[in-house]
């Protein structure tokens, strides 16, 4: 058994992953922990290093990067019998996975405090054969996520996603969906689908009231065909944690579940999974209760 492995993705976000890796190593070393740093040169290196962390039984795997980096690592770890405790230093353009675990957005703050973090088991989700830790979505807003260019990410950061998302609200396209959720079947016309693991999704805290990272459930948000004014009203309600729309369910609704099958009739549409293009419909989506163990702040 080995001690700590750090995977640093230098192409993430502001490209300071290697600097953060050295600072993190120093923090652990000062506490008599042995640290190995692995710097990625391509996306294929992420699962390769994650597999090494499992096979060589590292105690802790620190991942320095954004949602894409974390997602690549956990999808490899999910296949293994032994999974090290995972620590996340959020250094990407989008860090919704870390945000959902109440990990601060400032990498330097996380590095300074990580030795005081506690271990916490947290749920994961599975969509077809892919594991996710933040969200699965479909509709005009999620589609813009994987249409945002690398140049836009570099220039505007997370605001690039927000700007494209607001523009896409004008899209009134909806999907004729057959939804089988916990063995209850519905036919419904939806403009937007969001499925999350905990209360935070797409950077909005308390999106799903009462949801916890270890509650053994996934959480569905659906928005029906509606005008841009109605969409903005629901968006405002979500931003201010006002879920009155859920009482009537005329425009939008939320629902917890453990397993669901979603089919879109008569067209091919892709999902967005943890910020990247995911599988096309139909999809089978289910919770993996307390699948991974993370380092999180003690007051989480």
Domain with CATH 2.60.200.40 in the chain: 132-290
- Among positive and negative, which fits the CA dihedral 187, 193, 195, 199? negative
Kindly state the tokens that stand for 246: 């859920």
pLDDT higher than 90, residue 95: no
Q: Spell out the CATH class of 2-116.
A: alpha beta
Q: Residue 143 — pLDDT band, cuts 50, 70, 90?
A: very low
Give the C-alpha separation, 263 to 112, whole Å.
46
Alpha-carbon gap, residue 7 to 99, rounded angstroms: 19
Secondary element (H or E) of residue 136? strand 135-138
What are the residues facing 262 on neighbouring strands?
179, 283
Rounded Cα gap, residues 169 and 228, in angstroms: 6
Gyration radius (Cα) of the chain, Å: 19
How many helices and strands (H and E) does the chain possess?
10, 15
Looking from the CA of 66 toward its CB, the CA atoms found within 13 Å total: 20
Inter-CA distances, 97 with 33, 93, 252, Å: 26, 12, 24
- Kindly state the average pLDDT of the residues 12-38: 91
* Burial class for 31, CB neighbours closer than 10 Å (0-12, 13-18, 19+): exposed
Question: What residue ranges of the chain are covered by domains with CATH 3.40.50.10330?
Answer: 2-116
| CATH class assigned to 132-290 | mainly beta
Q: 59-74 burial by CB neighbour count: b if 16+ within 10 A, else e? A: ebbbbbbbbbbbbbbb
Give the residue from 206, 203, 216 showing the smallest Cα distance to 243: 206
Does the pLDDT value for residue 246 go beyond 70? Answer: no
Q: What is the pLDDT of residues 184-196, one digit of tens each?
A: 998 988 888 999 9
Alpha carbon distance 83, 299 (integer Å): 24
CB atoms within 10 A of CB 58: 23
Lowest mean pLDDT across 33-42, 143-152, 273-282: 143-152
For the four alpha carbons of 149, 150, 155 and 159, in that order, the dihedral sign comes to positive
Q: Residue 101: pLDDT above 60?
A: yes
Does 133 have pLDDT greater than 90?
yes
Buried b (16+ CB within 10 A) or exposed e, 93-103: bbbbbbbbbbb
Q: Global pTM?
A: 0.86
Cα dist. 254→21, 66, 160, 178, 220 in Å? 39, 27, 26, 17, 5
Q: What percent of the chain has pLDDT over 70?
A: 80
């Amino acid at each position: 058994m080995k001690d700590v492995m750090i995977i640093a993705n230098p192409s993430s976000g502001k490209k300071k992953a290697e600097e953060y890796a050295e600072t993190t190593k120093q923090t652990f070393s000062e506490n008599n922990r042995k640290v190995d740093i692995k710097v990625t040169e391509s996306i294929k290196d992420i699962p390769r290093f994650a597999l090494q962390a499992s096979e060589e039984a590292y105690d802790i795997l620190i991942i320095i990067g954004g949602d894409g980096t974390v997602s690549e690592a956990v999808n490899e770890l999910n296949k293994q019998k032994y999974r090290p405790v995972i620590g996340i230093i959020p250094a990407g353009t989008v860090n919704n996975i870390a945000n959902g675990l109440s990990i601060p957005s400032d990498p330097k703050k996380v590095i300074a405090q990580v030795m005081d973090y506690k271990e916490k088991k947290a749920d994961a989700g599975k969509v077809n054969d892919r594991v996710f830790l933040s969200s699965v979505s479909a509709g005009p807003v999620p589609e813009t996520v994987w249409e945002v260019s690398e140049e836009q990410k570099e220039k505007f950061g997370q605001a690039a996603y927000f700007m494209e998302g607001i523009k896409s609200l004008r899209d009134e396209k909806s999907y004729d969906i057959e939804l089988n959720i916990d063995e209850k079947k519905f036919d419904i016309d939806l403009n937007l689908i969001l499925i999350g693991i905990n209360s935070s999704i797409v950077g909005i805290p308390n999106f799903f009231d009462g949801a916890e990272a270890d509650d053994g459930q996934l959480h569905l948000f659906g928005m029906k065909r509606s005008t841009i004014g109605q969409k903005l009203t629901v968006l405002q309600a979500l931003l201010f944690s006002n879920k009155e729309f859920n009482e009537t369910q005329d425009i939008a609704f939320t629902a917890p579940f453990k397993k669901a099958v979603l089919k879109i009739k008569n067209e091919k549409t892709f999902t967005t999974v943890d910020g990247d293009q995911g599988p096309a419909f139909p999809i089978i989506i289910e919770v993996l209760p307390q699948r991974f163990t993370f380092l999180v702040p003690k007051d989480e």
